[in-house]
Structure 1
Amino acid sequence: MKRIIWDVCKVTIIFLGCTFLFYYGLRAMHNEYEQYHRYDQPEGPAVKVFSEEERFIDRLHLFFRLGE
């Protein structure tokens, strides 16, 4: 009986330790990426890959081809 109680205590302690480690790891990652500015202008030799000037027929062709 003592052996079963000791095993349950060990599993509980390991589970709580892993849970706290996971929780504080997620909090640390959240704090790191919360200060990351995603919408800043790109630095270096950036190239624009999306064109705003798109003809209606090209858009219609893409609609039928991809099923948007």
Structure 2
Amino acid sequence: MKRDLAKAVWRTGKVFILFTSCTLLFYSAILWIQHEYEEKHRYKEPQGEAMKVGLRLEENADQWLERLLLFYLDGE
């Protein structure tokens, strides 16, 4: 009886150790990925021959209404 209990405790302990080690590995991987993305500057000036592709036109008073109606029409 004691032998079966000891075996069950040992199996439970192995599962607990495996679960804990996998959790710590996953957590450290998430921290490493977060640290890598923190180092990158999203809004820095582009290097090389980058060009601006957006052109801002003059907005008239009715344009926002047209855009809103288009938004509703598309069902977004």
Same-fold call, TM > 0.5?
A: yes
Q: 1 or 2 for the larger relative contact order (CA 8 Å, sep ≥6)? A: 1
The residue identity in structure 2 corresponding to 1:29 is I
Q: TM-score, normalised by structure 1?
A: 0.72
Aligned length: 68
Cα deviation, 1:12-41, whole Å, max 9, x if unaligned, reads 000110111111111111111111100011
> Stretches of 4+ moved more than 6 A in 1?
none
Counterpart CA distance in 2 for 1:37 and 1:65 is 37
Q: Which has the larger radius of gyration?
A: 2
Structure 1 unpaired stretches of 5+: none
- Where 1:50 maps in the other structure, the secondary structure is coil
1:63 aligns with 2:76: no
- Aligned counterparts of 2:9 and 2:72: Cα–Cα separation in 1: 65
Alpha-carbon RMSD:
2.5
* Counterpart AA for 1:5: V
The 1:60–1:6 alpha-carbon spacing in structure 2 relative to 1, beyond 3 Å, is closer
The normalised TM-score by structure 2 is: 0.66
Q: Percent identity over the alignment?
A: 41
